[in-house]
Structure 1
C-alpha cells in the first residue's frame, strides 16, 4: 500500500514537472529580445492605447495554443507528422519553414544575448553572444540535458517576471488608464498587433510547449484536461510578462520622458529601465534581455530540431541533442561572421514565420473538424473550432502582410 502511494505521488510530481516545463518553454520562447524591443517601441508610440494590442494578442495566442496543444496531445504525434497525415507532404513544408525561420531568428537571439551581457556586465556583444551560445551548447551536451533545460527555463522565467515587476512598481504607471484602454482604446494600430502576434506565437513558438509535452509523455485523451489547463497557464504567464513590461515602460512614458525610437541603435526598453531605476536599471534590463535571449536560443533550437524527426523517424534523443548543438553552433558562427543580426535577414525570417502560423493552424483546425480518426474518436470542442476558424482567417491576412516582407527582402538582396 505504501509502495503504491509513493508511486502515485511520484507520478503526480512528474506530471506537474512536465506541465511546468512546457508552460515555461512556450512562455520564454515567446518573450525574446525582439518582443521586448517591440513592446517598448510600441508603448512609446501609442502610450496606454497599446494595452488593447496586448490584450488582443493574448486572446489570439490562447486560441492558437489551445488548438495546437490539444491536437498534438490527442494524436500523440509531432506537428509535422500530424500535417503529413492530414495532408500528405504538408508536414515536410511545415518542417522546412520552422527550421529555416528558427535558424535565422536564432542569429538574432544570440545577438540579443550579447547585447544583454553588454548592458549587464560591459562585455563586448560578440563575447557575450559567444559565451551565451556556448552555455546553451553545454546544456544540450549534458547527460541530464532534459532536466537542465526545464530547471533553467523555469528559474530564468520567474526571475525575469520578478525583476520586470519591480521596475513596473518603481515607474508608477497609470494602471487604471491602461486597464480602460485594454478594452476601450483611444486609438488602434492593427499593424502593431500583427507584429506582436507574429513575434510571440509565430514560427517555432506555437509548437514549443506542445512538443515538450510530447517528449515528456503527456499524451492521450486522458491528459487533455491537464494539457488544456497548462496551455491556459502558459498564455497567462506570457500575458503577465507582456503587461508588466508594458506597464514598466508606460510609467516612464506617462511621466513625460521621450524615448528615442528613431535611430537604428536606439534601445527604448533600456532607456525606460534607466529612467525608472537609474544606472541599476540598465543592469536589470541587461539581465532580462540576456535571459529572454538565452531561453529563446534554447526554445528555438529545441523546437526546430524536433521538426527534423519528420525526415528521420528513428532519430534518438541523443541524436537530437547533437543536432541541437550543431543548430546553435551554426547560428553562432553566422552571428560571429556578421557581427550582428542583419535587419533584412530578420525581416525575411519574420515573413516566413508569418506564413507558418496560418499554414499550421489551418491544418490543425481541419484535423479537429474532419479527422476524428486521428484523435481516437475524441470529441473536439466546437467553440474552439469556431474560434480557431476565425483566428485562421485573421492569421492568413497577417500571412499576406508577411509575403510583402519577403518581397522587400528579395528587392534588398
Structure 2
C-alpha cells in the first residue's frame, strides 16, 4: 500500500504544493495523515473481519453498489497507471538517456515479468519493499543537502499562513483514495490474513503503511522546502526533478531518476494488482485468468502513455478525483460494519465509527468544494 501511494503523482503533488504553500504545507500533511489513518484503519479492519473484498461487501450493502465501486476504482487506477508508466519512462530517461517511451516499454516488461513468475505475489512484495527502502534513503540524502528551515516548517505545521482544501483532498486521494488503500486490504486477504483474530496485526499494519508513506511525504516536503526557501525556481515541466538537481547537482538529478523509477514501477504493480482485484470475484473466469488481466491492464496503460503522454496537471487532477472516491468507499465500509450478514458477531468500535464518519463528512465537503471552486483553475 505504501509503495502504491508513493508514485509519480505523489512526488509531483508534494513538490508542487510545497512550492505554492511553502512551510504551511506542513499543516496540509498533518491533516491528511489524520484523515488517512481514520480511513485506512476502518477499511482494512472491515475487509479483514468480513473476509471479503470491498466490491463484494458493497454488493451486500446494496445490490449493484459493488459494480459501481469497482468501476470507479478501475477507472481511477487506469488513469493513475498511465501516469505511473510515464514516470517509469522518465526515470529511465534520466538514468540512461533513452526516450521516456522506450523507458516506459522496458519498465512495463519488468512489471509483467514479476506477474509471470511462479511465486508472483512473494516477488511483488519483496520487490516493492526493497525499492521502497531505496526511495526513502535517497530522498533523505537530498533532504540533508537541501538544508531546509525545519524550525519554520514545525511552526507552520500547527499555525499555517493559509489552508488549501485542494491540497488536502489531493494528498488524501493520493495516499488512501481510489485503489490505493485497497492495495493493502485486498493483499491481506490473498495472503490469508483475515478474521477477527487478525484484527490486532491488521490495525498495526494499516497505521505502519500510512506511516511509511507519510514519512516519505515529509522527507520530500522538507527537501523541496529547502530548495524553495533559497528562492530557487522549480521547472514546471518536472518539479520533483528540479528539487533533486538544485539540491544535489547532477548527482541529485541521477538520484531522482532512481527514485522516480522506483516510485513509478512499484505503483504500476500496485495499481494493476489492486484494480483487477476489484473484478476477480464477479465471475470464475476472471479469477482463473486474473494474472493475464493484470498484464493486459499494464499493456493498456503503457499503450495510452506512449500514444498521449502525461502532463503534470493531470497527476494533480487524478489525485483530487481519487479523493472524491474515498467518502463513497469508506461510507460503504462503515455501513457494512453494522450488518451481521457481512461481519457476523463482530462489534465495530464506536470511536472508529465516529472517526470514519468525520473523515467521510470532511472529505465530502472538501471534495465538493474543490470540484466546484478550485479544480477548474488548474486548467485556466
Query: Root-mean-square deviation (CA), in Å?
Result: 2.3
Larger CA deviation: 322-331 vs 353-362: 353-362
Aligned counterpart, 1:294? 265
- Contact preservation (8 Å) 1:352, 1:402: no
1:272 aligns with 2:243: yes
Asked if structure 2 preserves the Cα contact closer than 8 Å seen for 1:91 and 1:310, the reply is no
Aligned-residue offset at 1:402: 6.6
Which residue of structure 1 lines up, in the alignment, with residue 322 of structure 2?
353
Task: Specify the alignment match of 1:48 in structure 2.
Answer: 23
1:214 aligns with 2:189: yes
Task: Name the structure 1 match of 2:290.
Answer: 320
Give the CA deviation at 1:376. Answer: 2.3
Moved over 3 A (4+): 313-316, 342-352, 401-405
Per the alignment, do residues 177 and 277 of structure 1 end up closer, same or farther by CA in structure 2, a change over 3 Å counting? same
Question: Displacement of 1:314 after TM fit?
Answer: 6.0
* Aligned residue among 52, 58, 70 for 1:77: 52
Within-5 A mapping of 1:84-123: 84-123=59-98
Q: Distance in 1 between matches of 2:307 and 2:223?
A: 35
Q: Identify which of 372, 395, 400 aligns with 2:363.
A: 395
Equivalent residue pairs, number: 379
**2:332 — aligned with what?**
363
SS in 1 for 2:283: coil
Q: Secondary structure at the match of 1:278?
A: helix
Contact 2:48–2:185 under 8 Å retained in 1: yes
Aligned equivalents of 1:115, 1:343: Cα separation in 2: 12
After superposition, the C-alpha distances for 1:242-294 in whole angstroms (9 at most, x for unaligned) are 00010111111222323244xxxx22211111111110010011111111111
- Partner of residue 302, structure 2: 332
- Mapped contact 1:139–1:148 kept (Cα < 8 A): yes
Shift in CA distance, 314/70, structure 1 to aligned 2, threshold 3 Å: farther
- State whether residues 173 and 252 of structure 1, in contact with CA within 8 Å, keep that contact through their aligned partners in structure 2: yes
Aligned to 2:347: 379
TM-score by length of 2: 0.94
Residue 398 of structure 1, CA deviation: 3.8
Partners of 1:58 and 1:344 lie apart in 2 by 23
Q: For the residues of structure 2 that align with 1:86 and 1:386, how far apart are their CA atoms? A: 19
**In 2, Cα distance between the equivalents of 1:168 and 1:252?**
9
Partner deviation per Cα, 1:337-378 (whole Å, 9 max, x = no partner)? 22x13678767755652432111111111122x314421211
2:115 equivalent in structure 1: 140
* Structure with bigger gyration radius: 1
In structure 1, runs of 5+ residues without a counterpart are 1-25
Contact kept in structure 1, 2:49 and 2:196, CA below 8 Å: yes
Where do 1:110-259 residues align within 5 Å? 110-259=85-234
* Partner Cα separation in structure 1 for residue 227 and residue 318 of structure 2: 32
Q: Quick one: distance in 2 between partners of 1:161 and 1:132? A: 20
Distance 1:215-1:31 versus aligned 2 partners, 3 A rule: same
Give the Cα–Cα distance (whole angstroms) in 1 for the partners of residues 321 and 14 of structure 2: 21
Structure 2: runs of 5 or more not aligned: none
Query: Structure 1-normalised TM-score?
Result: 0.87
* 3-state SS in 2 of match to 1:173: coil
Instruction: Report deviation, 1:202.
Output: 1.2
Q: Determine the C-alpha separation between the residues in 1 that align with 2:43 and 2:242.
A: 37
1:121–1:283 Cα contact (<8 Å) kept: no
